[in-house]
Amino acid sequence: MERVTAADYQDIATPADPRISPDGDRVAFLRRQPTDDEEYEATVYLADVAGGDPRRLTLAEGSDAEPRWSPSGDRIAFTSTRGADDDRQQLWVLPVDGGEARRVTDVVGGVSEIAWSPDGERIAFVQSVTAEDREEDRDLSVPAEYEPDEHPDPRVIDRTVYRSDQQFFDGRRSGVYVVDADAAVGGATATDPAEGVERVTDRDADFAAPDWGDADTLYFAEEVGDDPDDSAEIAIRAHDVESGETEHVHTTTGWGAAIAATADGRVAFTHAEPEQVSMQPVDLRVVDRETGAVTDLTGEIDRGLGYEAAPQWGPDDATLYFATPDEGKTALWRVPADGGAAPERFLRPGTVSGATVGGDDGAGPGEVTVAFAASEPDHPGDVFAHDAWSGETTRLTELNADYLAEREIPKPEEIRFESDGTEIQGWVLTPPEFDPDGEGGEEDEEGEEFPLAVEIHGGPHAMWSTAGTMWHEFQTLAARGYVVFWSNPRGSTGYGEAFMQAIERDWGDVTLSDVMAGVEAVAERPYVDETNAFVTGGSFGGFMTAWAVGQTDYFRAAVSQRGVYDLTGFYGSTDGAYKLLEGDFDTVPSEEPGWLWEQSPTGHADEVETPTLLVHSEDDTRTPICTAELYHRILRKNGVDTRFVRYPREGHELSRSGEPGHVVDRIERIVRWFDGYSEHHDAPRALDRPDEEGLSAAEDGDEEGEADES
């Protein structure tokens, strides 16, 4: 049996966005896997709930996303970059039982958030375009001679939030559109492709989340307020596609919105209180368009909705289904839409990355089938179906069966410990072939000891589990001989409102006390060498890694990834995440500049002696690289062992969806940095080794596009 390595990332397939057919018999999903150091293959697959091997539906060309069943179940719409010279997703429609996919759009802004009308005649979608694009109708059909500018020169900014997702908006706003489902680029069924696309919203505002009620009514959300970029207000609109009239239905608040509508005018939506919005749990509510009455459906549970699965109406239009983080797992819930009963948690699988409900028209809670993608401790992700009739859950795929059959995959152990009187949940993963009795071989009668690697999650209002996107990194560290410890300290979601809000105005000390309480509990184990402990984390975890080494010399080395190091610099340079400062700290830099410096890792950087590697993405708009540059310079000036690794072309999602070669390189550099200061590894410091020694890119002889070490 082989041990997991960082380079194994190239061999791992993961599922996403499972969509169950209207009758509940089949599941369409995305299968995603690296093809080389720079790209992934993402294609649509189909699995039968009754069993059998999944089959691929779409070509391995371009990158596919968002498979969506037609109401009749005979077609699947999806977006893809196939046949394109750029990364703009376009809309395609594919007959499920045979035939070629048909391209439906050629629009300048790309296609996302697609939704079929109930009669199957139209498809709504979102694209981001400029006012000039609309004036020239490029948002309806791109002229053959059109060549877009790479970026404005100079770039003129007139918005509070002007970039996100690795790119500048450059005057683009997201709008809602409708296209004839039978249209085709090139005129297969439409004499003029432009006639197939209809502009629903036509002004400089940001719209999102289209969802149909009846066949003529399209609902969507609009960011509103005096400055929509700086507002928590979101208006829900209803658009009559025949008359072209749009009405205001309700205004909610929150950090983004999800909506789901019925034919009789009821709209489910997410809501969070606007005061310090980043600290508020997300509730599920329903507004009746006819009466205006609003019903709060989740006020009785101490869990806020997560991003794992959007709220969805069941086939009976009387039951709503939703997901929440729940103590290290994802919980799936159902609730009567009239609020007549409290939500019921009916399933609590591993780490869910999408769930949908299907069944015959009118099927109630006991008659539906739920499809979901989940990762569990023994695998990085598969597709499952839950039959409400029998209560049984069936695994529909084994995407990594061959890979897993050849690897040693240790299972994590859940632990509970106390910190300041609060119970904290965590996990411990030991190296493969670890002897739980602590009995060593002939040369080690007292049992073997292992170094400790501590991982801290981002967010800060997030939740880790035993699987998910960190599965491969944790397994790689364990395979390298580290005991891996991770936890959900206060501030995490999934443990109630008070738990999440416990870090108000104190990201650093509260979180660190919880993490160190867990470290102390794990370090008491005889097989853990507490004198050889290491720490890493990304985003908020990067903040906490830098905070930890500024407060304690417990760790022999640290790797801080994509972190926030100066809260004032973060406030001015981030995208919409500046609301984290206003919400979590209830302040802005002009009010308490000195105090914010003390709450920042840079305010304590002069105390750092721990060797610290900094890893950052150059196109990160969530935690921009400027604060890492400041922190790195302070460490250099103070003579601390440090190195700055910068990844070009990468944004904040480096560890989850970055270029495969960069994902592998990042994990290898973490391991190499730790190994160089570990007494349990015969390895020199990374600073004393040739720059690329021991890294896959160098072994492959392909150093093009590698990280830049400063």
| DSSP symbols for 404-416 | HHTB--PPPEEEE
- Residues 248, 249, 255: CA angle, nearest 5 degrees: 95
Q: How large is the average pLDDT for residues 166-178?
A: 93
What was the pLDDT predicted at 257? 84
Q: How large is the average pLDDT for residues 370-382?
A: 95
Is the CB of residue 397 less than 8 Å from the CB of residue 54? Answer: yes
Nearest to 215 by CA among 261, 174, 267, 250: 261
48-83 per-residue burial string, b: 16 or more CB within 10 A, e: under 16: ebeeeebeebbeeebbbbbbbbbeebebbbbbbbbe
User: SS3 of 474, please?
Assistant: helix
What distance lies between CA 673 and its chain's CA centroid?
27
Q: What is the pLDDT of residues 460-489, one digit of tens each?
A: 999 999 988 899 999 999 999 999 999 999
Helices and strands (DSSP H and E) totals, the chain: 13, 39
pTM above 0.85, yes or no: yes
What was the pLDDT predicted at 263? 97
Nearest to 647 by CA among 663, 632, 630: 663
What was the pLDDT predicted at 438? 53
Distance CA(56)–CA(172), nearest Å, equals: 35
67 bridge partner residues: none
Nearest to 548 by CA among 604, 464, 628, 626: 604
Residue 567 has pLDDT above 60, yes or no: yes
What was the pLDDT predicted at 144? 83
Q: How large is the average pLDDT for residues 650-671?
A: 94
- Residues 101, 103, 105: CA angle, nearest 5 degrees: 155
Distance CA(480)–CA(138), nearest Å, equals: 53
Residues 6+ apart with CB under 8 A from 195: 180, 183
Residues 6+ apart with CB under 8 A from 556: 531, 532, 533, 534, 610, 611, 677, 678
pLDDT band at 210 (very low <50, low <70, confident <90, very high): very high
DSSP string, 242-280: TT--EEEEEEEESSS--EEE-TTSEEEEEE--STTGGGS
Q: What is the pLDDT of residues 320-340, one digit of tens each?
A: 999 999 999 999 999 999 999
Tell me the CA distances in angstroms from 367 to 340, 359, 374, one per residue in order.
Answer: 19, 7, 22
Q: How large is the average pLDDT for residues 24-29?
A: 96
Residue 444 has pLDDT above 80, yes or no: no
Q: What is the DSSP letter of 395?
A: E
What distance lies between CA 362 and its chain's CA centroid?
33
What was the pLDDT predicted at 704? 42
Nearest to 495 by CA among 374, 336, 324: 324
pLDDT band at 95 (very low <50, low <70, confident <90, very high): very high
Residues 6+ apart with CB under 8 A from 475: 4, 409, 410, 429
Q: What is the pLDDT of residues 499-541, one digit of tens each?
A: 999 999 999 999 999 999 999 999 999 999 999 999 999 999 9
Q: How large is the average pLDDT for residues 655-665?
A: 93
Q: How large is the average pLDDT for residues 653-666?
A: 93
Looking up tokens 């597709």 gives: 383
Is the CB of residue 335 less than 8 Å from the CB of residue 341? Answer: yes
Distance CA(214)–CA(233), nearest Å, equals: 26
Distance CA(532)–CA(350), nearest Å, equals: 31
The pLDDT > 90 percentage for the chain reads 85
Paired sense of beta strands 163-164 and 167-168, if any: antiparallel
Q: How large is the average pLDDT for residues 315-319?
A: 96
Residue 496 has pLDDT above 70, yes or no: yes
Looking up tokens 């996919």 gives: 101
Tell me the CA distances in angstroms from 511 to 278, 279, 466, 518, 554, one per residue in order.
Answer: 17, 15, 20, 11, 16
416 bridge partner residues: 425
pLDDT band at 701 (very low <50, low <70, confident <90, very high): very low
Residue 194 has pLDDT above 70, yes or no: no
Structure tokens at 308: 């794992």
Burial level of 705, CB count in 10 A (0-12/13-18/19+)?
A: middle
Using the Cα atoms of residue 357, residue 360, residue 362 and residue 364 in order, give the sign of their dihedral.
negative
pLDDT band at 290 (very low <50, low <70, confident <90, very high): very high
Average pLDDT of the chain?
Answer: 92
Structure tokens at 218: 């399209």
Q: What is the pLDDT of residues 53-88, one digit of tens each?
A: 999 999 888 899 999 999 999 999 999 999 877 789
Residue 92 or 693, more confident: 92
Distance CA(692)–CA(698), nearest Å, equals: 6
Q: How large is the average pLDDT for residues 629-655?
A: 96
Q: How large is the average pLDDT for residues 374-397?
A: 95
Q: How large is the average pLDDT for residues 607-623?
A: 97
* Number of other CB atoms surrounding residue 299 within 10 Å: 14
95 bridge partner residues: 75
Q: How far apart are the first and last CA of the chain?
A: 38
Residue 188 has pLDDT above 80, yes or no: no
Residues, the chain: 710
pLDDT band at 710 (very low <50, low <70, confident <90, very high): low
What was the pLDDT predicted at 186? 55
Paired sense of beta strands 64-69 and 233-240, if any: unpaired
What was the pLDDT predicted at 339? 94
Alpha helices in 536-695 (DSSP H): 540-551, 567-573, 579-584, 593-598, 626-637, 654-657, 660-675
Nearest to 431 by CA among 328, 516, 537, 527: 527
